[in-house]
Structure formats: structure tokens, C-alpha cells
Amino acid sequence: AAQALHAALARQREGVERLLGPPEEVEVFGPHAGPPELEDIMKIQPPIRTVQAWEFWQQHKEFIGAHGPEWGPGIRERVEAASRVTDGECEEGRALQRVVARHVVSVLGDDAVLAVPGAADVAPLKGESG
């Protein structure tokens, strides 16, 4: 399955290259890639997730309050954590998001396409777990 996916993606990549030219690999994050607060990508993730949690809660708190859905393990804890994120914590994360956005634009300019994997591997086949 992975080989078929890679072949399909290669065909798509070839089409994009015909339109935009060959890809250029750039280092967006990492030591010496940008502002000091972006050197360690592992330190970027928690504030960004805080913003996501705050946004989730703002969008869904009325529904959750009105319907009291039953959550499975793990989800219930994330929803409860999202309900406790303060506006101030969200703003701290948003400040970092703005730093990230400015940096990405400074690296890529205004005429680039950023291709980022959405997952570390291909999805499991239908009917498989994992």
C-alpha cells in the first residue's frame, strides 16, 4: 500500500513541478533556522495546542453544556482540559503563532508552496487497526 501511495504522490509531484518548477528544500525550524523561540519545535507544539484547545472549547462549549455528550477515554480528559484554558494562555499561544507565521513567510516569500506531511506514515487500510 505504501508503494502505491508513493507512486501516486510522485505523479502528483511531477505535475506540480511542471507548473511551479523543481522543489527547494528549506529548513523552517531548528537551530539557526530563525528566531530563538523557534529553534526547538517540541517547545512550539504545547502553546499551539493550547490555542487549539481554547478554540475548540469556544466553538463547542454551548453544545457540550446543553447536551452533555459522553466522551470516550482520552477525549473526555482533553475536553475537560480545553474547558480550563484561559484567554491569557490562549493569547500567549497566539503570540507564538504570529512569530511562526512571520518566520514562515520570511523563509518562503509570497510565491511558494509549503508541502508538509500530515502524518508520520500512511493511514492503515480499511478494516485494519493501527
Q: Are 101 and 51 in contact (CB under 8 A)?
A: no
C-alpha grid cell, residue 30:
531548528
Q: Give CA angle at 121 (118, 123), nearest 5°.
A: 85
pTM above threshold 0.75: no
Mind listing the pLDDT tens digit for each residue in 43-85? 889 999 999 999 999 999 999 999 999 998 899 999 999 999 9
- Single-letter amino acid, residue 49: R
Distance CA 121, CA 130 (A): 11
Mean pLDDT (the chain, rounded): 87
% of the chain at pLDDT higher than 90: 42
